[in-house]
Amino acid sequence: MSARDLILLVEDSEANWMLASAVLEREGFQVEVATAPDGVREWVRRAQPDLILMDVQLPGQDGMSLTRELKADPHTARIPVVALTAHVMAGDRERAIDAGCEGYLSKPIDTRTFGEQVRKFLADSRQAAAP
């Protein structure tokens, strides 16, 4: 991980984004938070974050449809997206993967392992992108 690793956390619950961003910042990541899907596509195209943590349930547009849009755009398709959700039911992981997510993390997050989980998703995506 470098000091330049930028994580976009798309999360509408203030308690959840405050906790997740505090853990990630403590782990050395730079974190930006979007609390609604409005403007996310444009911001992602401009900022090119290293990883997106995407809440599944968002106001106005669900996280899986937003992920599909990001993956359909050639300017954002390579950015790994990890679903972050409290919905831990049979088939949820598969729906996230089908939408284009590289992974799936359940909430509430485990503050002891969350940073390492994010670091592993970053490493896996970099390895997959390497020639």
Q: What letter does residue 6 receive in the DSSP assignment?
A: E
Paired tokens of 106: 């359940």
CB-based contact 96:64 (threshold 8 Å):
yes
Q: Is the pLDDT of residue 2 over 50?
A: no
94/58 Cα distance (integer angstroms) = 19
Position 88 confidence tier, pLDDT thresholds 50, 70, 90: low
Predicted confidence (pLDDT) per residue in 29-86, tens digit: 999 999 999 999 999 999 999 999 999 989 999 999 999 999 999 999 999 999 998 8
pTM: 0.93
Q: Is the CA virtual torsion 104, 87, 97, 54 positive or negative?
A: negative
Q: What is the pLDDT of residue 85?
A: 84
CATH topology for 6-124 is Rossmann fold (3.40.50)
57/59 Cα distance (integer angstroms) = 7
Report the Cα 48 to chain-centroid distance in Å: 13
> Does the N-terminal peptide bond of residue 49 adopt cis geometry, omega within 30 degrees of 0?
no
How is the chain split into domains, by residue range? Answer: 6-124
Predicted confidence (pLDDT) per residue in 7-17, tens digit: 999 999 999 99
Q: What is the pLDDT of residue 70?
A: 97
46's CB contacts (< 8 A; 6+ apart) are none
